Amino acid sequence: MPDQAPLLLRHHRPFIAFWLARVFTASGFQMLTVAIGWNLYQLTGNVLDLGLVGLVEFAPRVLFMLHTGHVADRYDRRKVAAICQSLQALIALSLAIGSATDQVTREMIFILAFLLGAARSFEMPTTQALLPSIVPSALFPRAVAAAQSAQQSATIVAPALGGLLYAFGSVWVYGPTVILYVIACGLMLNLPGRQTPLNKGKATLDSLLAGIRFIRSRPDILGAISLDLFAVLLGGATALLPVFAKDILLTGPWGLGLLRSAPAVGALLMSLWLARFSVDRQVGRVMFTAVGVFGVATIAFGLSTSFWFSLAVLVVLGAADMISMVIRASFVQLETPDEMRGRVSAVNGLFIGASNQLGEFESGLTAHWFGTVPAVVMGGIGTLVVTGVWIKLFPTLANRDRMHVQVEEAKA
């Protein structure tokens, strides 16, 4: 029922609170990302540092992967998320104080980037596992799209706002992010119910590895999240946006903010469409097509010397990425038992983090070796190659017709 489902979501108070928390958290993170990237590039002028900061932020996902999922499955998910948001507020506060006293250094940025990655490595599986317990399963695919629309709305406004505020000084970016994270923390704590999952067992190696075993036993889930890993790992160019803004497109912090916002514009428009008209048929073909479009858009961006054309292809890139994300997130969560959602989400979060943060390192490294434009173009070509290979490796995923909900019990 394409008309009634969105109406039900708009009147679902717990989901609205969750939605708003996502807005403020995403806004804070995007503003931090813009400020940290520009601040670091101003300090060092080294493109490799932009890749290294992504690697540093990704490292906690690997170090804590087995524990993040167990925490999400064992403790009150609302409180875990709130603690993570509080830590991110403290990180923003530290950067604000450092900027006000002119004490921000390269080393300080890397240390705080590691702590930011640690907080987000616990926050991501926790919030992902929260959503299925907030909305009915029949509304879940649309809820995923609607939740992403919240994040993408923030991703549109926050980077542009961060870039504009940075013109007055970095403290004007870091300061407001503290407030955003505090508001998100309050909203999360006010979600109804304890949201305490079913798993109360102690952390053992067997229980920690249960999420990995579950994903390996589901070829469609494994294929979908690994496709996202390698496609975005190769095709992602966000770490190089400061270089494109400053050296290729000849703009300033405001232009960087718009470039970072452009993919979110496409993602927002697509998420709003998917929240109202979900993909119900030929989901595998739609997902692979979207990843292919992502690769083509990456190549076009790398070759562009026009600021406005670059913005346009980044909008297309964001829309394509949103289609793939919604399809993947929907059946991963719906086919996972509630008592395992934290651990499965942690593995999925590791894949997402690898594709984003590790992709930033890959972009910085290849740009250092071959140049900025060749690095992005080669990455887009790599995405197209991965898409073709994955169609052959996972034919059932490529031919998947419907978003079936097949929740099976798995031992934890």
CB atoms within 10 A of CB 96: 21
Q: DSSP assignment, residue 2?
A: T
Between CA 221 and CA 1 the distance in angstroms is: 27
Q: Looking at 97-243, which runs of residues are DSSP E strands? A: none
Say if residue 405's pLDDT is above 60. no
Structure confidence by residue, pLDDT tens digits, 164-190: 888 888 888 999 999 999 999 999 988
- Tell me the pLDDT band of 368, cut-offs 50, 70 and 90: confident
In this prediction, residue 315 carries a pLDDT of 93
In this prediction, residue 408 carries a pLDDT of 39
Report if residue 21 sits inside a domain.
yes
HSE-CB for 359 with a 13 A CA cutoff: 24
Output phi, psi for 373, to 5 deg: -65, -50
Report if residue 82 sits inside a domain.
yes
Report if residue 406 sits inside a domain.
no
CA dihedral 213, 217, 220, 222 (to 10 degrees): 30
Give the count of domains, the chain.
Answer: 1
Domain hosting residue 211, numbered range: 4-398
Report if residue 286 sits inside a domain.
yes
Structure confidence by residue, pLDDT tens digits, 73-124: 788 888 999 999 999 999 999 999 998 888 888 999 999 999 999 999 899 8
Report if residue 235 sits inside a domain.
yes
CATH number at residue 100: 1.20.1250.20
Structure confidence by residue, pLDDT tens digits, 258-301: 888 788 789 888 888 887 777 767 888 888 999 999 999 999 99
HSE-CB for 140 with a 13 A CA cutoff: 22
In this prediction, residue 91 carries a pLDDT of 94
Do the Cβ atoms of 120 and 88 come closer than 8 Å?
yes
In this prediction, residue 170 carries a pLDDT of 83
Helix (H, G, I), strand (E, B) or coil at 201: coil
Report if residue 207 sits inside a domain.
yes
Average confidence score pLDDT of the chain = 81
% of the chain at pLDDT higher than 90? 21
Report if residue 410 sits inside a domain.
no
- Tell me the pLDDT band of 389, cut-offs 50, 70 and 90: very high
% of the chain at pLDDT higher than 70? 87
Report if residue 261 sits inside a domain.
yes
Please state, in angstroms and as integers, the Cα–Cα distance from residue 75 to each residue in 79, 155, 302, 321, 402, following that order: 8, 29, 44, 32, 33
